Structure 1
Amino acid sequence: MAKKKVLSGAATDAGLKPEESVRQRVIRDLRQLGWAETRLRWKPEWPVPATPHDLTKRERGQKFEICGSTDLVAFADDSGEWHALQIIFEFKAPNIDAGRSQLVRYLSAEPMAKMGYWTNGSQSLAIYKRHTCEWVFEQGAALPHPSDDLTQPPTTPPTWNTLRIPTEAELTGALKRLVATTVVSDANVNRREEQLRELLHIILTKLESDAISSRSANQDKPVSFRIYGDNLTKVALTAKEIRDQFKAYFDKQRTRIFLPSDRDVILLSSETIFAVVAELAPFRILGDHVDLLAKAFQIFRTQALKSAEGQFLTPLRIVRPAVMAMDITSEDKVIDPACGTGGFIVETLRQVTDREFPSEAEAWNMVKWANDNLYAVDKDDIGIKLTRAIMVAMRDGSTHALLGDAVRVHHWATKYPKLAQELSQPDNTGNDTPDVYEQFTVVITNPPFGENLKVKGADCRASKYTISVAAAMKGPTDYCDLEIGLVYLELAHRLLQLGGRVGIVLPETYFFSFSYRWLPGWLKNRFELRGMINIPMEAFEEFCRAKTNFYIFEKVGHGAEEVCDADNINPIKEA
C-alpha cells in the first residue's frame, strides 16, 4: 500500500481551473516522492481503448476507438509504452463515488495498470487490482511512491478453476513488461541473453504448474506457481518456492528440454522472481489456448532477436491457415528446419490431434505419432527450449527438437552431431559433408530472409548447394553468396521424399524480379508449384514489412545436372 503523503498547496492554484490545479499539485508531489518526469504523462492525455479488440489494434500499432482519456498516468519504466502502464490518475469527477466508477472503468480497460488513484484535492481513493479480478478500495489513500508494492495477492490460494484465461493483449503485455521492465533492472544478472534465459526458466516453471493443475484430479487444489507468505515474507518465500519448483522441473526434464549449459538454479534476484510470479500467477497460460502461449512466447523471443538477422517469427494468423493448406495427416513425417519457437510444428500437432486423435483414449496414438514423426531444428537455444517445452506441455513431440544450423550441412559432423545422426545417411566414404536423408513427406518453414542475409559461396560449395551455382549463372563450379531463404528451399528438397511437399514463406520478389530470372530453371524437374497463399504485408507488421507469400511445392525429381540457361527461362506465374 502507498506511504502516507498529504497533498500540498492551497485548494486551487491561482489562474487554474480546480481540476487542473489538483493535477499540477499531484504532479509536483509525485516528483517530490521520487517519480521521474519521464515516467509521468499528462500531455497529451492517455487514451484508453474502448474494447478488447481495440487493445489488440493498439498492440499492432493500428488506430483504435477510445472510451476516454486519463488525467495522468505513471509508467514502470521510461518507455511510455502501454505494457509499462502502472498507475492511472483521475481528477475530473466531483465526488468519490463518481471517481470510483470512472477509475474502475479505466482499470478494466487497461490490463497492465496495477492501481488507480482519484482525488479532488480534499478526498482521495486508491483502487488496487486483486489477482482474482476483485477490487481493493482504500479511501483517504496517500499518493503512491515509486517503490510501493502494488501487488494484491488473493486471500486464498488460487486453483486451476480460479485462474483466468488472459486476453491476447494481457498476456502479450505481461511478457513485454517482464522483458522490458522487470528483468533489465535485476541486480544479479546483467547480460541480455542471460536475463532472457532466466526469465524463460521461470516461465517454464509456470508451464509445468499449469500442466499439473489442469488435470481433472487437481483442478480444485492450490496451484504451485503462486505468491507465498504474507506482506512481510512474500518476496523471500515466493522466490524460494519457485527456485525449488524449477530445480524439480529441471531434474525431471533435464534431457528432454534443457541444454548442457543450463543449470538447475534461477540466478535472478528474489525481488525479480517475485515480480514475475506476481505478473503471471493470475493466468492460465496452458490449456485449450496454446495459441495464446505461442503468441506470447513469440513476443518474448522477439526481444532477443535482431531484425537485421532476418529472423521474423511467423504470426499465428499465418501459421494456422498455412498448416491447414498442407493437409497434414498422421501418415506424414514433418520437419521445420528453421522452427523459431515451433509455431508450425505445434500447430501441426494440434490440427492432427483434433482431426484424428480427439478422444482421451487415443492420446497414446497421438504421442507415438508426434515422437516418431515431428522434427524441428533451430540454431537458437532459447527457441529450441521454447519449442520443446510447448510440445512437452501438449503431451509431447519434443523428441526431435534439435539444436543446430540446418543449412550448413558440412558442419553437422563436427558441430552438430545430433543433426548428423538424425538427418543424414551413414557415410563410410570419409566425406565431410553427409548426404541428407530423403525421409520426410512434409517440410513446412519460414526461414530467415533478407537481401543482406546470405550464405557465403564457400559454405554453399562445402554443403554442395546447386542453387548457389544456378544463381551465379556462370559454370558448374562457380558458387555465389545467396540469400539464406533460397538455400533453405534446396535443403527442403534434400529432406523430402519424391512426391513430398514443402510449404515455405519466401519474399515475393524471388519469383518476379529479373534479378532472380535463373530460379525457374533451377526449380525445373525439382519442384512443381501446387499452390500459393498471399500474405498481406500487415501480417508481419510486428516484425518486418517485407511482402511474402506461402508457397507450396511438390518434389517431382532431382533436377538437371547442367547449369541453368539464364537466357531461356521465364518467371513463375502467380497461381
Structure 2
Amino acid sequence: MNLNELFKNTDYEGTIFSDQDKAALETRIFTKAVKNIEVPYVKCIIREKDIKLTPEEAVRQLYTQMLISKYGYPKDRIQFETHIHFGREVKRADITIMDKDRPMVPYIIVELKKPKLSDGKEQLKSYCNATGAPIGVWTNGEQISCYNRKDPNFFEAISDIPKASQKLSDIINEKYTYEDLKRIDKISTQKRSLRALIKEMEDEVLASAGVDSFEEIFKLIFTKLYDELICANDSTAYLQFRNNGNTDYELKEKIQSLFDEAKKKWEGIFTDESKILLSPSHLAVCVSTLQDIKLFNNNLDVVDDAFEYLMSKAQKGEKGQYFTPRYVIDMCVKMMNPTSKDKIIDTACGSSGFTVHSIFKVWKDIRREKGLEEGEGFTAAERIPEETNFVRDNVFAIDFDEKTVRVARTLNLIAGDGQTNVLHLNTLDYSRWVEITKQEDWIDTYNEGFKKLKKLQPKGVSDFSRFSFDLVMANPPFAGDIKENTIISRYELGKNTAGKWHKKVSRDILFIERNLSFLKPGGRMAIVLPQGRFNNASDKAIRDFIAERCRILAVVGLHGNVFKPHTGTKTSVLFVQKWDDVLCPRKDDYPIFFATMQKPSKDNSGDKIYVKNPETGENLLDSHGHLIVDHDLYNHDGMTQDGIAEAFAEFAKREGLSFFQ
C-alpha cells in the first residue's frame, strides 16, 4: 500500500527518507478489521509485533529503518518508548539509541512528530537533560534537527548524527568544502528555508541575547556569503563558517576575522569598526544553525526570503513598502526586456530585486552572444569584463531606508562582483539631495555611484529633476501620504483640478510622476500600483497625466494574495513607454495588453503555493532543487506553461514595440 494513499491528509513526498526505505515500509503494511473498519498495521522493526500505523508511527518506522540502513546501528542498541524520569513523573522517548559500552545509558534520543507539526524540540531537550544523552534528534519526516547537548540548557545544532562506526567528535570536527556544502544543503535536501531557521534562532537564542536581531543576523549572512565565495572559487579550501570543535571563544575569533575580511571585500555595508556583538555561546548556536545552508543560488530567493522577514519585523511594513515577490519581478523583467545597452534604475529599490534580476537577464544575453555557457545568476563564479562593466556603468537603485539600502547594496555587490550604484536617497525629495550628498559619511559610501548618476542628467539639467534612463522598474511604497509642501510643490500631480496644491498626496502618485522624469524619450517603465489608480473616478487626472506622456503598453492585475501576509491590497503592474518620434511615435488609438493573474501563488495566510507533478502529486523542483511557486506569470525554465509574460512578448512583436524588435 502506498503511504500517500494510506494517509490522505499527509504528504510523504519530499521527505528525508529514501525511496528504498519508503518502499520497504510499504511492503510491510497490512490491514486488520477493527469494528468492521480496515485499519492499517505494520510489524514493528524493533518490537517484532503488530502495531497500528499512525502518521507518527510511520515516521518512527521510517527513521528506524534509516538508522539501521544508513547509519549502521544494530537493532539491539535501538529502543522504543524508553522511560524518562522527571521525579515522580515518567515520560517516554520515541526512539533511543543506547551507548555502545553502557547499554543502559541513552546516547541519542529521537523525538518524532507526524508531518507538518513543528513542536516538541523543548521536550526533546528536557529528555536529553534528564538522561545526560549527548545527542538529540527532532524530526517530522520532512525536516530534521540534530543537537549536541554541551551542558544543561545549551544545545548546539550539528549537521548530522554520527554513524555507528563514528564518534561524535568525528561529526563536530569534520571539515567541509563548498562541494560538501552543496551536497548537505538543508534547503535542497530538507526543503528548509532560511526564514524558518532564523525564526528558530530568534526563539532559541536571540530573544535573550540583548542585541539587534537584524544587525547580527545580517552580519552572519554577510560573513557566510564571503566564506562561500572564497571556497566556491578554490575547490581545496575548507569552509570557515562552521563550528568544528572550536571552543566558543575560538569560534568567535574565527568568525569575527572572517567578518573583517568580508568588510574589506564588500565596502560600504558595515563600518570598519563593526563587531559581531553576540556572546560566544549565542554565536556558536547561530553558526551551527546556519552552517549547513548554501546561500549562493540562482534566484536569490533563499537570502531574500530571510531579509524580507527581518525587514518586515523592523520597519518596512509601517511604510507600506514590501519586498516584491521574485516571480512578479521576473515577469516585469521578461516584459521590459532589458539589454546591455540600457541604463536601468529602481527608484524605490527595497532589496533591489528589479535591478539584480535585470542584471541576471542581461548577463545571460551577453554570455549567449559570446558563445559562453549562460551560467548562474547569483553565483560565486568570477565574471567576464562585459558583465562587470554593465553593472558598474548601467545599473542604479535608490531607497530612502538605510537598512534596506544596505541589504540592496549587499546583494548588488555580490551579484555584481563588487560593483554597485545603490544610493541612500529620498527619491521624491530631490531638492535636498545637494545637502545630503555633501555629508562626509555619505560621500565615503555612495559618492562613486552618485557621480555616475549625475552624468545621466540631460544637457542643461543640474537640479536632479530629470534623468535619461532607458528603463525604470519600481514597487513604490503605498502607505503614508506626503504632507510636506516643499516636496508636493515640485509635482504636477501635487495640484488639484483648480490648479492649487494639495495638502497631502499619496506617495505612489508622486512616484508615478517622478519615475517618468527619470526616463528619456522612448524610455519605458514598469510600476506596481494600487488597483484603485486604474479604477477610481477620482484618479482620472492621474490616468490622463500618464496617457498624455506615454503609450500605455500593458496592465497586469496581480492576485490579492501576492503581497500577503503583509497586506491584502489589490495591486496591478502598469507598463508604459514615453512618447518619442523614433522609438515610440505618438498615436491616438492603439491596442493595450490587459491580463489578470489567475493563480494566487500564495494562500490566504501568505504562504507560497508550489507546483506539483500532475502524475505523482510530488512537489516539482527546479534545476537547483528548489520548489517552484505556482503562478501563471511566465514559463519557469520550461517546467511550467507559458504565461502572461510570453503572451505580452508576442503582443509586443506584433505591435513592433522598439524593445522587442
Using the size of structure 2 for normalisation, the TM-score is 0.61
Residues 1:529 and 2:556 are matched in the alignment: no
1:468 to 472, 478, 494: 494
Aligned to 1:323: 333
User: What is the distance in 1 between the residues matched to 2:515 and 2:385?
Assistant: 30
Report the CA distance shift for 1:113/1:337 in structure 2 as closer, same or farther (over 3 A): farther
User: What is the distance in 1 between the residues matched to 2:411 and 2:93?
Assistant: 47
Aligned to 2:635: none
Residues 1:258 and 2:291 are matched in the alignment: no
For 1:112-131, list aligned pairs within 5 A: 117=124, 127-128=136-137
Residues 1:458 and 2:485 are matched in the alignment: yes
Cα deviation 1:129-163 (Å, max 9, x = unaligned): 79xx999799xx99x95444454663312221111
For 1:213-224, list aligned pairs within 5 A: 213-215=231-233, 218-224=234-240
> Deviation of residue 123 (structure 1)?
10
Equivalent residues of 2:157, 2:285 under 8 A apart: no
> Deviation of residue 301 (structure 1)?
2.2
Aligned to 1:184: 207
Equivalent residues of 1:378, 1:406 under 8 A apart: yes
Aligned to 2:229: 211
- Unaligned ranges ≥5, structure 2: 1-8, 16-53, 58-80, 83-90, 98-105, 160-170, 374-381, 439-446, 582-591, 596-661
For 1:19-98, list aligned pairs within 5 A: 50=12, 68=55
Which secondary structure does the structure 2 equivalent of 1:388 belong to? helix
Residues 1:341 and 2:351 are matched in the alignment: yes
Which secondary structure does the structure 2 equivalent of 1:539 belong to? coil
Counterpart amino acid of 1:415? I
Equivalent residues of 1:357, 1:365 under 8 A apart: no
For 1:413-432, list aligned pairs within 5 A: 413-417=434-438, 418=447, 421-424=451-454
Equivalent residues of 2:111, 2:124 under 8 A apart: no
User: What is the distance in 1 between the residues matched to 2:593 and 2:262?
Assistant: 52
Aligned to 2:512: 489
For 1:167-178, list aligned pairs within 5 A: 167=187, 169-178=192-201
How many residue pairs get aligned? The number is 459
User: What is the distance in 2 between the residues matched to 1:318 and 1:134?
Assistant: 32
Q: Percent identity?
A: 20
Equivalent residues of 2:345, 2:469 under 8 A apart: yes
Which is further off, 174-183 or 480-489? 174-183
Aligned to 1:83: none
For 1:344-423, list aligned pairs within 5 A: 344-357=354-367, 359=372, 363-396=384-417, 398-417=419-438, 418=447, 421-423=451-453
> Deviation of residue 165 (structure 1)?
3.2
> Deviation of residue 170 (structure 1)?
2.5
Residues 1:229 and 2:242 are matched in the alignment: no
Please, what is the CA RMSD of the aligned residues? 4.3
Residues 1:196 and 2:243 are matched in the alignment: no
Report the CA distance shift for 1:247/1:348 in structure 2 as closer, same or farther (over 3 A): same
Residues 1:246 and 2:259 are matched in the alignment: yes
Cα deviation 1:237-265 (Å, max 9, x = unaligned): 111111111122223333xx326x66332
Equivalent residues of 1:384, 1:401 under 8 A apart: yes
Which secondary structure does the structure 1 equivalent of 2:350 belong to? coil
Aligned to 1:29: none
Which secondary structure does the structure 2 equivalent of 1:245 belong to? helix
User: What is the distance in 2 between the residues matched to 1:100 and 1:262?
Assistant: 45
Report the CA distance shift for 1:113/1:365 in structure 2 as closer, same or farther (over 3 A): farther
1:293 to 296, 299, 303: 303
Cα deviation 1:49-94 (Å, max 9, x = unaligned): 75559xxxxxxxxxxxxx9469xxxxxxxxxxxxxxxxxx997898
Equivalent residues of 1:246, 1:264 under 8 A apart: no
Equivalent residues of 1:114, 1:151 under 8 A apart: no
User: What is the distance in 1 between the residues matched to 2:147 and 2:304?
Assistant: 35
Report the CA distance shift for 1:136/1:367 in structure 2 as closer, same or farther (over 3 A): closer
User: What is the distance in 2 between the residues matched to 1:228 and 1:240?
Assistant: 13
User: What is the distance in 2 between the residues matched to 1:332 and 1:397?
Assistant: 20
User: What is the distance in 1 between the residues matched to 2:120 and 2:551?
Assistant: 53
Counterpart amino acid of 1:225? F
> Deviation of residue 382 (structure 1)?
2.0
> Deviation of residue 412 (structure 1)?
0.7
User: What is the distance in 1 between the residues matched to 2:338 and 2:327?
Assistant: 18
Cα deviation 1:473-530 (Å, max 9, x = unaligned): 221x524411111111111111001011110111111110122122122223212210
User: What is the distance in 2 between the residues matched to 1:49 and 1:426?
Assistant: 54
User: What is the distance in 1 between the residues matched to 2:395 and 2:365?
Assistant: 16
- Unaligned ranges ≥5, structure 1: 1-46, 54-66, 71-88, 559-571
User: What is the distance in 1 between the residues matched to 2:93 and 2:11?
Assistant: 20
User: What is the distance in 2 between the residues matched to 1:166 and 1:516?
Assistant: 48
Aligned to 2:175: 157
Which secondary structure does the structure 1 equivalent of 2:193 belong to? helix
For 1:271-282, list aligned pairs within 5 A: 271-282=281-292
